[in-house]
Structure 1
Amino acid sequence: MKSIYLLLSNTGTITNQAIKAFTAAPYNHASISLDKNMKRLYSFGRRRPTNPFWGGFVQEDLVQGTFSWYPYATCAVYELKMTRRKYQKLERLLKAFAKNYKTYFYNYLGLLGVPTNQPIHVKSSYFCSQFVAEVLKRAGSNLFYKTSALVTPDDFRNHDELQLIYEGALYEYPHLYSKTYYHPKKYKSFPFRRYMIQQIKSEVLGIQEENGELYQFRDGFIKPKKILISKKWYRIRNLLRL
């Protein structure tokens, strides 16, 4: 037998609080992990921490991802036993999602159907608990009789087949692969400022760093052109812009 783990969490974001106002549940986000240490953690949520409206399939990073912006997040971790064959099928499904992550989007419309008990299916779109229930169903572990589009994080919390192994502060979870996170009091101007600088460099200027050297990538006729930019010239150019 193999084990997979479900992480139910509450970050305290505005979106999370809005959902909580309707559900009155302690946790309103669901993720699925193939490891007890949460290193291979998957869900549907924000692609960028600063934009709650751009969502899709994400491999969540508790150290440097969206969760790291909320060091006081709370969670509950549940263990689900399954056969090795189901585990391998689930692993293949998650790899397929990860490979084609750009084709999947967050099912915002589906959230509206949950309180009215009217499932709203949108092609290649899921919300977090819908995704977790769906991949488990496809792997052969169908936990619910209702459609995945009506499953909420609280449904997992009350399921008999799931065993609670931890509940409390997220970053006090004893099996977490790393306890490092960005404390808001210590990093007053981060991560937003550093994040924006990184985005401007990579997305706007096309600048990337390799082996201590800065390169700029520009569109070419056949493939992108890779242009070396020395650190010294890069600093001078920045000074000239001020």
Structure 2
Amino acid sequence: MIHKSYVYILLTDTGTLFTKSIKKYTKAPYNHASISFDPELNDMYSFGRKKPNNPMQGGFVKEDIFTGTYSKYPNTTCVIYKLEVTDRDIEKMKRVLNIFIKNQNKFLYNLIGVLGVSINEPVEFSNSYFCSQFVAEVFHRSGIKLWNKLPALVTPDDFRKNEQLLFVYEGKLFDYEPIKKRIK
């Protein structure tokens, strides 16, 4: 029997002022993307708030649903997808991820890049990413092709519309069964 491996993509809407502003422009239901290597979303990474109470300090983050930003927004809505990959793909993605983890204090949030997406003009800086750009970059550097565009132009909605991704769950983040189990 062949072992199946998956990587998980979490798209969220916390309802913050920042996401409401982005939503007004994008008309997309979710405006934040994260990547995880387990269905319980224990090991989850993105570019976002470094401190839950400070939206101005952003960068590479290991997200924690119970102590991080999501803990401040219990009504966060989400959709979760998974992509079937090989164990070799997982190894490559984790190698890419380890570069981010080892250098996490050198990375900044690419706010200008978010604006670049809106005019379809990639704005890239060597150590600066926005959430969906980061997730797309992990796939790209691992040789997994999900789009015919640069990671700097990938939006959370591009994940939602990608037919290679398999739907797992949509609803309130804290109602997702593997998370609900951990609350009890």
Matches of 1:154 and 1:125 in 2, distance apart?
A: 20
RMSD across aligned C-alpha pairs, in angstroms?
Answer: 1.1
1:179 offset after TM fit, Å? 2.5
Matched residue of 1:165: which SS? Answer: strand
- How far 1:120 sits from its partner (Å)? 0.5
Structure 1 residue aligned with 2:22: 19
* Relative contact order higher in (CA < 8 Å, ≥ 6 apart): 2
TM, length-normalised to structure 1: 0.73
Aligned-residue offset at 1:47: 0.4
1:39, distance to aligned residue in structure 2 (A): 0.2
Structure 1 alignment gaps of length 5 or more: 181-242
Of residues 106, 117, 137 in structure 2, which corresponds to 1:103? Answer: 106
C-alpha offsets along residues 3-23 of structure 1, whole Å, 9 cap, x if unaligned? 010000000000000100110
**Number of corresponding residues:** 180
Residue of structure 2 aligned with 1:113, choices 90, 107, 116: 116
Q: Say whether 1:179 aligns with 2:183.
A: yes
| Corresponding residue SS for 1:175 | helix
**How far apart in 1 are the matches of 2:34 and 2:58?**
14
Is 1:133–1:142's contact at 8 Å kept on the other side of the alignment? no
Aligned-partner residue type, residue 135 of structure 1: V
How far off is 1:178 after superposition?
A: 2.5
Q: Distance in 2 between matches of 1:39 and 1:96?
A: 19
Report the TM-score when normalising by structure 2: 0.95
Contact 1:63–1:178 (8 Å) recurs in 2: no
Residue in structure 2 matched with residue 200 of structure 1 by the alignment = none
Taking the aligned partners of 1:85 and 1:27, their CA distance within structure 2 comes to 30
CA positional deviation for 1:142:
1.6
Measure, in 2, the Cα distance between the counterparts of 1:30 and 1:39. Answer: 15
How high is the sequence identity, in percent, across the aligned residues? 49
Q: Structure 1 residue 168 and structure 2 residue 171: aligned?
A: yes
SS of alignment partner, residue 113 of structure 2: helix
Alpha-carbon separation, structure 2, partners of 1:179 and 1:157:
27
